[in-house]
Amino acid sequence: MTENLEQLKKDLENQVKLAEDRLNQLQYLQADFDNFRKWSEKEKTSIIALANENLIKDLLIILDDFQRALPSLEQEQNREGMEMIRKKLIKILGEYGLSPIVCVGKKFDPYLHEVICKEKCKEETNTILEDFSTGYQLKSKVIRPSKVKIAEQIEENEGENNG
């Protein structure tokens, strides 16, 4: 009887150990699945963001065309309609996180701006004087840098060393 009881205790211990091993395996599997779910959700979000970015880059070409066309329109009625369409396009793109990079009067930042030319003037060096092409950010990512003209400070004795 005691031998039978000892065997049952051993079997019970083995079964408890087996159950604990299976529980650990199940917990690891559940954690792996949870990590996979989070990764796939992040990947899906990334793919959608990339698709939006490419679409918005293509739409920026149309926005640029509107901005170039508006000054040439002479008839007030056509100009107002084009301006309304441009504003709607800007509003819709803004809802997706697009914002223009405001730069005139600010310091040159190579991450936000692309220098097209420099002009000697009394402004502080690397101050942006003119914005030739508006740059845009999609949320916090620059998708198109601004094309700008920056100041190059005139030195005081620049014309005095001629001879």
Return the domain boundaries, the chain: 1-96, 99-155
Chain segment 46-97, per-residue pLDDT in tens: 888 888 888 899 999 999 888 888 888 777 677 888 888 889 999 999 998 8
90 CB-side CA count, 13 A:
15
Output the pLDDT for position 19.
95
What is the model's pLDDT at position 154? 79
Residues 6+ apart with CB under 8 A from 141: 53
Q: Which two tokens stand for residue 160?
A: 């005095």
Paired tokens of 157: 């004795």
Domain 99-155: CATH class, spelled out: mainly beta
Does residue 145 contact residue 117 with C-beta atoms inside 8 Å? no
Q: What is the 3-state secondary structure (H, E, C) of 8-67?
A: HHHHHHHHHHHHHHHHHHHHHHHHHHHHHHHHHHHHHHHHHHHHHHHHHHHHHHHHHHHH
- Asked if residue 161 has pLDDT above 60, the reply is no
Q: What is the pLDDT of residue 156?
A: 63
